């Protein structure tokens, strides 16, 4: 009898009626009244899930794990612990490590580190260009054919600004159903930019980052994607104008998907008046009008997924003057709560919608076959149990991530992950880390 057999009683599937879920041998063995009577239920660990919402394990298309080379900021081990606590069972690790993940060797190293950690499935994202330099294509085919089986490629943090190079990348990845995830930022329009260009930047005297710097790249790239009939994914959409361009592209059948971060669903550039570098991020926090447009776009499906853009930094890179501070915020351990606060509790989305934008569609974008699956008999038991009635106060020092740069410090948020099951193994129980999957011989 497997020690990882679990019977979850009274769980609310996607916020619906309470039911029982039997997990056995890494899959969902039974649902409903049949669960307790199933032969595999004998000797299973019983977990009272009354009042908890059961979601498919969350999938993040946009995580910075920093390893190799930047272990002072984060490691695969610490980052995936944070992911498990946030309800994630899979994350896509961005390529801007040191060395850059632009070869088969580096992406295989990241993939192996993820397997060794055992907290979540780590899917490396390959760089589009060598060294993120934007001058020549990286080894896209070799990374796709590697043991890591890379399907998403991005120079995130830097825009692939050369249109010829972007076209070639889009054409190249068609051979293996890959996707180019673009960091939309026209570099010449954002040179020296410190925050969103608008009323607040004018008052503070900080160099502004205009919305058009994002929107112009998205407009160009959806047309390129249409021209070569390839898949484009737009990272961290932040403006109302970007939403309208993506809406236009989708109406014409262009193969584009888009993500929004939790912090862009809640925070605005008004916070920069504090000059606290924790609010310095790329793309910058925008206006309340942009925030509301992003929420509506997510609810309507114009924006497809939540991407955390989890970007941990050493404290010394944030506890300094604004101009010298690094850009980025942590997000894995707060994402689900922020989405509940902004989208579910506001009535804009249901828990089934949350499963779509935080699990199902992210897995489809990254082509992760065994993640984001529906909670049905025979499917992999990647399950997150969240208590929607819980309230908690964010404390960066208590988080599993090495980064202390959470913009939600001291904020009370709703919803708390109580358990995370990764291929049937509980990585999180009672809201705390349990054991990684590798320790049980999985």
Known binding-site residue numbers for Zn(2+) = 62, 64, 156, 183, 236, 309
Residue 226 CA to residue 236 CA, distance in Å, equals: 21
Find the catalytic residue in 309, 345, 353, 370: 309
For 122, the token pair is 């780590």
Cα gap 373→14, rounded to integer Å? 13
Alpha carbon 295 to chain centroid, angstroms: 16
Measured between alpha carbons, how far is 183 from 242 in angstroms, rounded to an integer? 13
| Active site (annotated) includes residue 145 | no
Binding-site residue positions for substrate:
64-66, 96, 282, 313
Residue corresponding to tokens 């032969």: 39
Contact 47, 88 (CB under 8 A): no
Cα–Cα distance measured from residue 426 to residue 418, given in angstroms and rounded to the nearest whole number: 10
SS (H, E, C) the chain: CCCCCEEEEEEEECCCCEEEEEEECCEEEEECHHHHHCHHHCCCEEEECCCCEEEECEEEEEECCCCCCCCCCCCHHHHHHHHHHCCEEEEEECCCCCCCCCCHHHHHHHHHHHHHHCCCEEEECECCEHHHCCCCECCHHHHHHCCCCCCEECCCCCCCCCHHHHHHHHHHHHHHCCEEEECCCCHHHCCCCCEECCHHHHHHCCCEECHHHHHHHHHHHHHHHHHHCCCEEECCCCCHHHHHHHHHHHHCCCCEEEEECHHHHHCCHHHHHHCCHHHCCCCCCCCHHHHHHHHHHHHHCCCCEECCCECCCCHHHCCCCHHHCCCCECCCCCHHHHHHHHHHCCCCCCHHHHHHHHHHHHHHHHCCCCCCCCCCCCCECCEEEEEEEEEEECCHHHCCCCCCCCCCCCCEEEEEEEEEEECCEEEEECCEECCCHHHHCC
Phi, psi dihedral angles at 299 (to 5 degrees):
-65, -35
Q: Which residues are catalytic?
A: 309
């Amino acid at each position: 009898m497997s020690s990882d057999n679990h019977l979850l009683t009274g769980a609310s599937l996607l916020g619906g009626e309470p039911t029982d879920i039997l997990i056995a041998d890494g899959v969902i063995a039974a649902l409903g009244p049949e669960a307790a009577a199933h032969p595999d239920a004998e000797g299973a660990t019983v977990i009272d899930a009354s009042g908890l919402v059961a979601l498919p394990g969350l999938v993040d298309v946009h995580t910075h794990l920093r390893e190799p080379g930047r272990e002072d900021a984060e490691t695969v081990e610490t980052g995936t612990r944070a992911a498990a606590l946030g309800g994630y069972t899979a994350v896509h690790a961005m390529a801007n490590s040191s060395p850059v993940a632009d070869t088969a060797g580096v992406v295989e190293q990241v993939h192996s580190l993820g397997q060794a950690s055992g907290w979540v499935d780590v899917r490396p994202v390959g760089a589009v260009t060598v060294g993120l330099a934007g001058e020549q294509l990286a080894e896209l085919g070799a990374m796709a054919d590697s043991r890591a089986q890379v399907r998403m490629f991005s120079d995130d943090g830097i825009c692939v600004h050369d249109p010829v190079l972007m076209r070639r990348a889009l054409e190249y990845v068609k051979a293996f159903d890959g996707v180019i995830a673009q960091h939309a930022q026209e570099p010449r329009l954002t040179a020296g930019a410190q925050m969103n260009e608008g009323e607040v930047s004018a008052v503070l005297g900080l160099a502004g980052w205009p919305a058009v710097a994002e929107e112009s790249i998205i407009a160009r790239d959806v047309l390129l994607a249409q021209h070569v009939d390839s898949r484009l994914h737009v990272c961290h959409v932040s403006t109302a104008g970007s939403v309208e361009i993506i809406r236009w592209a989708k109406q014409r059948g262009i193969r584009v998907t888009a993500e929004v971060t939790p912090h862009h669903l809640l925070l605005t550039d008004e916070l920069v008046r504090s000059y606290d570098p924790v609010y310095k991020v790329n793309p910058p926090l925008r206006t309340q009008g942009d925030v509301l447009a992003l929420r509506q776009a997510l609810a309507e499906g114009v924006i497809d997924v939540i991407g955390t853009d989890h970007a941990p930094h050493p404290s010394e890179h944030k506890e300094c003057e604004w101009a010298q501070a690094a850009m980025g915020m942590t997000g894995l351990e707060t994402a689900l709560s922020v989405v509940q606060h902004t989208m579910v509790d506001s009535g804009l989305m249901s828990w089934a919608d949350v499963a779509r934008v935080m699990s199902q569609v992210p897995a489809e974008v990254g082509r992760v076959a065994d993640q984001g699956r529906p909670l049905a008999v025979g499917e992999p038991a990647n399950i997150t149990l969240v208590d929607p009635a819980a309230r908690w106060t964010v404390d960066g020092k208590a988080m599993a991530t090495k980064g202390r740069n959470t913009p939600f410090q001291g904020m009370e948020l709703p919803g708390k992950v109580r358990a995370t099951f990764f291929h049937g193994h509980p990585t999180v129980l009672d809201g705390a880390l349990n054991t990684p999957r590798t320790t049980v011989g999985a």
